[in-house]
A and B are shown apart, each in its own frame.
Chain A
Amino acid sequence: MSLQYHVKLAEGDVAPSVLLPGDPGRVAVIASAWDEAREVASNREYVTYTGTYRGTPISCTSTGIGAPSTAIAIEELARIGARTFLRIGTCGAMQPEVRVGDAAIFDSAVRADGASALYAPIEFPAVAHHEVLEAAIAAASDLGLRHHVGTTFSTDLFYVPAPGFAFGGFEQSAWRERFEDIERTRVLTAEMETGALLVLARIWGLRAGAIALVSDDATETSASGEWDPQASFHVERESLLRLARLGCETVRILGELDRERAGE
């Protein structure tokens, strides 16, 4: 395929496995964990690096915030040869045992986004590929990271219409117990991209999974009603590098599995 409109990538520019952070500024940080890396494209919120991590070809493309820009990124990445997607982002904790600095590994997502519903009916599950999931769990155990496996609430809203969140105290009654209800379903975390990624990869027959660094406690802020992400979010470079390592190791383990299978 020729040059893709938004990501400005062509066939040969990316490895079969692509890490997907939201923030274009984090792509270079993640690529710093590789043995070699070069920037191959940069346009709008889409920055792409390609390189090698411990012998495994790897790429990293930022998606921007939210499911709409993420859907564009993975449509275009799939067209030029990406086959395994691993979202690597940050998230807020929805359960008391999930602490800032922990890693979350997502086996599924609540589809509170708009884009995925335009691809597949809402009854359809947002579910990770079991091979990506098992590889991420193995990588987290190998690295000795405190981690949790479960569902993430993938929402199109960062500033939700609940007291203390949206500007000017704008509120909708449907949100009054929404956080509590989500917590009661044992959802681990909240973030903004995983649902669409998992749905699209599944309907295309490609592999996807998602991992995230817990950067704030959504239960605490929802309880107090005071919410200043600039003050309360913690994304240290060191923890980001730890998450990057988890993502790269997951890709490496998957590469090994694929080579084993090809050898059979």
Chain B
Amino acid sequence: MSLQYHLKLAEGDVAPYVLLPGDPGRVPLVASLWDESREVASNREYVTFTGMYRGVPISCTSTGIGCPSTAIAMEELARVGATTFVRIGTCGTFQDHVANGDIAIFDSAARYDGASRLYAPIEFPAVASHEVVDAAIAAGRELGYRAHVGTTRTADSFYAMHPRPGSSFGGYWQSSWREHFEDLKRLNIVAAEMEASVIFVLARVWGLRAGGVAVVLDNVLKVSGEEGTFDPQDQFDHGGDEIERLARMGSETVRILAERDAVTPAAPASA
């Protein structure tokens, strides 16, 4: 395929295994863990590095925030030869047993986004490839990270749907938001973020593989104050090496997958 319109990538520019952070600023950070890497494209929110990590060809492309820009990234990456997608991002949690700094491994997503519905009906499950999930579990164990396997709630909004007025500008609020987060907690949903569902749905309908890991930055039920104010700049915990740990999780997951792929011939499309 020729040069892709948004990503500015052509066939040969990316490895079959692609890490997908949201933030373009994190791509060089992720690539700095690899043995070799080079920037292959940069346009809008899409920055791509390609290189080698412990003998495995690997790429990293930022998706921007949200499912619409992520769907574009997936479409164009698949066209130039990407076959395994691992989202690496940050997330909030709904669960009290999950601490800031822990790793969440997503086996599935609740589809509170718009883009994935335009591809497949809402009844369709946003489910990760079990091979990616299993490799991520192995990576977490090997790196000694505290990890939780479960469902993420992927939503198209960052500031809406909080339990009290104050998260959206000017105190704008809807009564249906009051117990929304509590309901998600009761559903055993582990994490909240903004991209996983469309990645899982698209990979699944195309017969490709996807998974996701994230580092937990906050408990979304505790992050807004008594008055409902939500100031992520103030309240999110970016204290230490979260992003580095995330990058290690993603890169190791890819390495383990590549190792297993070499042993077992290519995964069946339905797996």
Binding site for B on A (CB under 8 A): 95, 107-112, 120-127, 130, 133-134, 137, 148-151, 181, 184-188, 202-205
Contacts and interface: CB of A to CB of B under 8 A. Distances in A.
Contact of A122 (B123, B130, B149, B268): B123
Interface string B206-221: 1100000000000000
Given A123-B110, A130-B107, A203-B186, A149 B268 contact: yes
A130 B151 contact: no
A148 B271 CA distance: 7
A202 B270 contact: no
Nearest to B154: A123
12 contacts: A95-B270, A122-B122, A127-B151, A130-B130, A134-B130, A149-B268, A149-B271, A151-B125, A185-B124, A185-B204, A186-B204, A203-B187
Given A134-B134, A149-B130, A120 B271 contact: no
Contacts of A122: 122-123
Nearest to B155: A123
A205 B123 contact: no
B126 A149 contact: no
A161 B269 CA distance: 30
B143 interface: no
Contacts of A130: 107, 130, 133-134, 137, 149
Given A148-B270, A186-B207, A125 B110 contact: yes
Contacts of B151: 124-125, 127, 202
Given A108-B108, A125-B110, A186 B270 contact: yes
A219 B271 CA distance: 20
Given A125-B127, A151-B125, A185-B204, 18 more contacts: A107-B271, A110-B125, A120-B187, A122-B123, A123-B110, A124-B151, A125-B109, A125-B151, A126-B125, A130-B130, A148-B270, A150-B271, A181-B121, A184-B205, A186-B207, A186-B270, A202-B151, A203-B187
Interface string B103-118: 0000111111000000
Interface of B: 107-112, 120-127, 130, 133-134, 137, 149, 151, 183, 186-189, 204-207, 268-271
Contact of A108 (B111, B127, B186): B127
A149 B111 CA distance: 22
A110 B125 CA distance: 6
A130 B149 CA distance: 9
Main secondary structure of the interface of B (DSSP, over half): mixed
A122 B126 CA distance: 11
Contacts of B126: 125
A184 B189 CA distance: 29
The 5 closest A-B pairs by CB, nearest first: A150-B270, A108-B127, A108-B125, A127-B108, A125-B108
B108 A186 contact: no
B192 to A, nearest CB: 13
Contacts of A151: 124-125, 127, 204
B18 to A, nearest CB: 20
B221 to A, nearest CB: 17
Nearest to B200: A125
Nearest to B205: A185
Contacts of A184: 205
Contacts of B270: 95, 148-150, 186, 188
Contacts of A112: 123
A120 B112 CA distance: 13
Contacts of B107: 127, 130
A75 to B, nearest CB: 16
Given A130-B134, A205-B188, A124 B269 contact: no
A123 B111 contact: yes
A4 B133 CA distance: 37
Contacts of A123: 110-112, 122
A95 to B, nearest CB: 7
A110 B127 contact: no
Given A120-B187, A127-B151, A107 B130 contact: yes
